[in-house]
Each structure stands twice: as structure tokens, then as C-alpha cells.
Amino acid sequence: MAPVIELDGLGVTLGGRKILEELKCSLSGRAIGLLGPNGAGKSTLINTLLGFYPPAAGTARVLGCDIRAEMKQIRALAGYMPESECFIAHLTAVSFVRLMAELSGLPSDAALERAHEALFYVGLGEARYRLLGTYSLGMKQLAKLAQAIAHGPRLLILDEPTNGLDPPARQRMIRLIREMRDTRDLHILLCSHLLRDVEETCEEVLILKDGHQVHYANLEEERKANRRFLELETVGGDGAFAEAVERLDCECAATGRRLKMVLGQDFAIRDLYRLAEEHGVQIRRLNYRRDSLEDIFLKAMENHNGRP
Amino acid sequence: MAVHKRSYHAYAGDLTPRWSRFLVVSRYACQNALSSKNLVAYFALCFVYPLGCALALYANHNPRLLALFNTSSFFDPGAKLFFHFLRIQGTLGFVLTAFVGPGLVSPDLANNALPLYLCRPFSKAEYVMGKIFVLLALLSLITWVPGETLFLIQCSLAGASWLATNFWMISSIFLGSAVEILVFSLLALALSAWIKRRRAAGAALLGVFFFGAGFGQAINAVLRTTNGSLIDLAKLIARVEDQLFRQHTSVGISAADAWVALVAISAFCLLLLQKKVKAYEVVRG
């Protein structure tokens, strides 16, 4: 798949301070997560990709267009939902989204139609004739999403889209992002410090810290490669069960009736049940888990902290 | 009732030409400005004087009316008439600018809306052009458009010989109006960009004129010079118009100095706009 975003030694300096340094990677997923703690440089990277900040070193390409030379093309291809609360208070939602679509080049009639569609799509259909200034925070977030998709971008850039949303509104936003990702009409770049948001929507993730790239991961592959754990609580049998379990593809530590196991690639749970039956052991509790994005993130943060 | 699609899909239709997109901003800004009944009423009031002038010109060439008052003409429809016309319409235009100008950029800044404009294939220059176009259009409608119309009416009534003698006034009316329009518009937009509160921006616009005039007078009086007039916008514009309409001037600075000062003020306003109209502020340190 052709890269969506290519960072080629990108560095950004603002107000005499280096905010981003030597970012180098190629991202081609349908939904790309940009993760990092607050102040890591995520929003700066987005703002640089949109031409709001000039690169101090290196360059980047968005959908094949260079940020130094082809900014207008990039902006024509992208839709942007900013992090901060931004709107035009004296306009109704439908006028606001229509204005934004017209600025992206849609003729007035088409822009009006797309504005209605986008507002219905994000769930503001019934409130589309209300002034934006009267909207709640959650509604403003949805209106921002509507203006970002009204012109049909090929890359949708979402900067902290779930900020300030209550759990149902957050769920709705995540569902919309997933739906758009699955339409295959556009790519999504999601910037967030909330691991769950990224984990639930993205295929690829770039982790930043202090302006440095600390980890790049294809989440699906990373999940496959990560360790799986099993915790067992058993009744009956003797030490032979633990010894037999160790002969399966896993590392095992037994403490009384409890077993903790780190599973290998070829381990199958049904073998465990088979052994339990053979040794007359009852399995009372079985907890299964695998490395989450949180583990990946924490590992990346630890590695970065250990860096000279 | 319209039925709208409720799924995401890309747009595959035609796009408008890039050069025309600044007019979208103008259209919305104009709609917003004219949504105020007070403004519409004031705007309508601005046409009273041009209409009065048109009637006066007609009366001045009506033989029955002239005969009734036993005179050959009521007034001389020469440069002085158009000079005063521009002065009065300019003053009305300034008040109109104080009404409309502050509401152009400041709400966008107060609501952080600039990233939404500028993340599209739409530049800062186009944004400023779109906003300023509203003022240019409204001010044109009450200054040079009625001015030139009056000139045409006078031509049609007075004949070719009057036109031949006063042909130079066509450019004077346009240039004099253009100077007023550009200075007012740029100043209003720059103040609107730097002052987030709309009313404060309007007050600042009035302040620039009145404080400038007062401060300029004080400098002239204390230092016994005439250079204080260089910060008095009303005098600078008046001096330029005196020259354009070949009128005797009471302003103690040369026309060239006035032109240079006005160009410098306009350039400074553009610099202020350039500094402030951006998607995000960079905090230094």
C-alpha cells in the first residue's frame, strides 16, 4: 500500500525550542494512531503536516505530496478536526459546515447537501439549525467532525477527538471513526494521549515522547508477537500436573494451587484441558490476557527513558 | 422533506475555481453584517445625501425651477460639489466601517476559528481579501459609485462642454474614495485582528482617529511644527483629497508627505494582519 505519511528526518523548532527532532518513518495504515504523553509533539506534528508550522529540518510527505512544496494539494486532500474548541458562534451548524465545504472548493449547492449529510451522519441532524454557540461540548466536537468530512477528504486528521466527551459520546465518536475507517474511502490519522481510543480504532501507531519518535508499531503484528499470559487456579492432582504443563510450549511457575504461565506461540488451551483431565485436576479459574497497547506504550516509554 | 444519506462517502463532483473562494468568506461576512437591522437602516441612510445631490443637480438644470426663482443656477456643480460630497460620504463611510469592521476578524480569533479556515486550500491572503472585500464593497456603494453616478448625471444635464472641462474629476472621485476605503478598511481589519472583543475594536478604531487628531494637534502646538498632522488620519486624507480635487488646503503638510504617511499606515496595518492572522500562535521562550 502506498504510504499515507512519510516522515523524512523531520524536525520542527518553535520559539527557539526544538519541538520535534529527526522523525523518520513511513505510515501506510488505513487508521494511524499518533500516541504520546502530553507535550510529546503530536499536535505539532499534525500542524506541521498541515503547513501551520514550518519544518526546520528534513521534510514529510502526505499522500505523496511534499509539505515544503505542495501544501495546497495536501490541504485539498485533508480534513482536519482540531483539538481546541473552534467554531463560528453566530452560524448555525449547517451554515458552518457549508461554509467550510465551500472553502474546500465545493459549489454552494453541493456544499449545502454535503453539510446536511455530514451533520446527519455524525448525529446532529436534528440540531443542525441551531447556532453553534448554543451547542454543548460534545455537540461541538461532532460539528467539528462534520466540517472535517463534509468535503470528502482522503485523509482525515483527528486531534484528540474524544476530549471532553462523556462515555456514551466517546463511544459514538469511536464508532464513527471505525465506520469511516471501514468505508475504505479515506485514511485516518488519530492523535490522542488516550491509549484506548487508539487501540480501538488504529492499525498502526507512532509513539512520540519529548519530540522524539520512540516507537513505531503495526498493532496487529505487534499483538501477534506479544506475549500471552495465563493464570490458573486448580483443585486436586499433584505436582505432576505442573510438570506436564511445563512440557507444553510455555514457562510455568506454581505456587500452591496457582499456576502462572507465559505462553509460547504454539500453545493451545485445549491441551491444558486435556492434561487436567489426565491428571484429575479441576480448573476453577482461568485468566487469559495478552500484551495490550498499554504494555507496548509503557515499554516504549521505558526504553526512551533509558536512552543516553 | 429532503432525505440525506447517513453514511460517509467521498465527494466526486466539480470544484469551484481557487481564485473565487475568497468570495465565500465575503458572502458569509456580508450576510452576518447585514443581519443587523440597525446597520441596514444606517446603510440606507448613507444614500440620502447622494439622492439629495441628484435632486439638486436636476433642479439646477430645470429651466422652470430656475425661472421660478429667477436665477441662472442655484449652485456651481464643479469640483467643490464633488469634493464636499466625498467628505460627507467619507465620514458616513468611517462610521459604517466602525459598525462592520470590528466584527470581521475578531469573532474568528475569539472562537479560534482560524485553523478551520487555514487547514483548507485557502491562504491567509485569501482570508484577509475575503474579509476586506465586504468593507470595500459596502464603502464603494456609498462613496465612488454614487459619486461617479452623480458625475454622469451632471454630464448628461450639462452637456459635452462641461464634461470636457471636468473630465479629470472622474479619476479624482475614484482615487479619493479609494484612499478613504483602503485606509478605513485596513485599519478596521488590523484592529479587529488584534482586539478580540468586537466593541473594544470599534472603540479603538474611533480612538485611532480622535486620539491621532488630538495628539497631532498637541505636537503641532508644543513643538511649533506642522509634522504632527502626519499622525492625524483625517488631515492626511483631507490633504490628499485637496490635491485630487485641486482645492485650496489648510493642512500644513505637503501632499507628497500625506501620501507617504498613508501608504506607511496601510503597510503597517498589513503587517499587523500578517502577524495576527495565523492558525496558531507560537509561544516564545
Residue B13 falls inside a structural domain: no
3-state DSSP assignment of residue A125: helix
Residue B188 falls inside a structural domain: yes
Considering only CA atoms, which of A225, A219, A222 is closest in space to residue A265? A225
Closest CA–CA distance from residue A137 to any residue of chain B (Å): 13
Contact B7 A16 (CB under 8 A): no
> Structurally, how many domains does chain B consist of?
1
Mean pLDDT of A132-147: 92
Of A52, A99, A185, the CB nearest to B28: A99
| Residue A296 in this model has a pLDDT that exceeds 80 | no
Measured CB to CB, residues of chain B less than 8 Å from chain A are 2, 4-16, 18, 21, 24-25, 28, 32, 107-108, 111-122, 278-280, 282-285
Closest CA–CA distance from residue A218 to any residue of chain B (Å): 26
Q: Are strands A187-192 and A31-35 parallel, antiparallel or unpaired?
A: parallel
Residue B101 falls inside a structural domain: yes
- For residue range A8-40, list pLDDT tens digits in order: 999 999 888 899 999 998 998 899 999 888 888
Residue of B nearest to A49 (CA): B119
Mutate to test the interface with A, among B22, B119, B129 (most CBs of A within 10 A): B119
Of A50, A75, A117, the CB nearest to B4: A117
Residue B36 falls inside a structural domain: yes
| Residue A256 backbone zone (phi > 0: left; psi -120 to 50: alpha; other: beta) | left
> Which residues of chain A have a CB within 8 Å of the CB of B277?
none
A107 touches B: beta carbon within 8 Å: yes
pTM for the full model?
0.84
Contact A99 B14 (CB under 8 A): no
Topology of domain A227-290, CATH:
Alpha-Beta Plaits (3.30.70)
Of B15, B115, B285, the CB nearest to A105: B15
Contact B107 A88 (CB under 8 A): yes
Considering only CA atoms, which of B20, B261, B120, B284 is closest in space to residue A19? B284
Residue B130 falls inside a structural domain: yes
| pLDDT value for B5 | 60
Of B9, B108, B280, the CB nearest to A52: B280
> Which residues of chain B have a CB within 8 Å of the CB of A121?
5-8
Over the Cα atoms of chain A, what is R_g?
A: 24
Cβ atoms < 10 Å from Cβ of B173: 25
Closest CA–CA distance from residue A85 to any residue of chain B (Å): 7
Q: What residues does A18 pair with on adjacent strands?
A: A13
| pLDDT value for B1 | 46
Q: Which of A248-262, B90-104, B123-137 is least confident?
A: A248-262
Going B7 to B11 to B13 to B16, the CA torsion angle's sign is positive
Closest CA–CA distance from residue B280 to any residue of chain A (Å): 7
| pLDDT value for A292 | 67
Contact B284 A15 (CB under 8 A): yes
Beta-carbon contacts of residue B144 (< 8 Å; ≥ 6 apart): B173, B174, B176, B177, B178, B181
Residue appearing with cell numbers 503597517:
B268
Phi and psi, residue A216, nearest 5°? -125, 135
Provide the residue type at A247 as one letter.
R
- For residue range B239-248, list pLDDT tens digits in order: 999 899 898 8
| pLDDT value for A100 | 95
Helices (H), A51-107: 71-77, 93-103
Distance between start and end Cα atoms, chain B: 56
Rounded Cα–Cα distance for residues B57 and A217 (Å)? 81
Helices (H), A184-292: 195-201, 219-225, 239-247, 269-278
- For residue range A155-202, list pLDDT tens digits in order: 999 999 998 888 888 998 999 999 988 887 789 999 988 888 888 899
- For residue range B133-184, list pLDDT tens digits in order: 999 999 999 999 999 999 999 999 988 888 999 999 999 999 999 999 999 9
Judge residue B105's burial from the number of C-beta atoms within 10 Å of its C-beta, 0-12 exposed, 13-18 middle, 19 or more buried.
Answer: buried
**Where does the pLDDT of residue B24 fall: very low under 50, low under 70, confident under 90, or very high at 90 and above?**
very high
Q: What is the ipTM of this complex?
A: 0.85
Residue B82 falls inside a structural domain: yes
Contact A89 B107 (CB under 8 A): yes
Of A78, A149, A152, the CB nearest to B119: A78
Mutate to test the interface with B, among A103, A159, A160, A176 (most CBs of B within 10 A): A103
> Which residues of chain B have a CB within 8 Å of the CB of A181?
none
Beta-carbon contacts of residue B146 (< 8 Å; ≥ 6 apart): B47, B50, B53, B89
DSSP 8-class letter at B266: H
A56 touches B: beta carbon within 8 Å: no
> Which residues of chain B have a CB within 8 Å of the CB of A49?
none
A14 touches B: beta carbon within 8 Å: yes
Residue extents of the structural domains in chain A: 5-223, 227-290
| pLDDT value for A67 | 94
| pLDDT value for B219 | 86
Q: List the helix and strand counts (H, then E) for chain B.
A: 14, 0
Rounded Cα–Cα distance for residues A206 and A216 (Å)? 5
**Where does the pLDDT of residue A308 fall: very low under 50, low under 70, confident under 90, or very high at 90 and above?**
very low
Residue B285 falls inside a structural domain: no
| pLDDT value for A291 | 62
Mean pLDDT of chain B: 89
Residue B200 falls inside a structural domain: yes
Rounded Cα–Cα distance for residues B51 and B53 (Å)? 5
Rounded Cα–Cα distance for residues B208 and B232 (Å)? 9
* 239-268 in chain A: CB under 8 A from chain B: none
| Domain extent at residue B197 | 21-276
**Contact at 8 Å (CB) between B75 and B56?**
yes
Contact B6 A107 (CB under 8 A): no
Topology of domain A5-223, CATH:
Rossmann fold (3.40.50)
- For residue range B189-238, list pLDDT tens digits in order: 999 998 888 888 888 888 888 888 888 888 888 888 887 778 888 889 99
Of A17, A147, A185, the CB nearest to B9: A185
For A247-274, letters b (16+ CB in 10 Å) and e give ebebebebeeeebebebeeebeeebbee
| pLDDT value for B137 | 95
Higher pLDDT, B68 or A239: B68
Mean pLDDT of B8-29: 90
| pLDDT value for A289 | 67
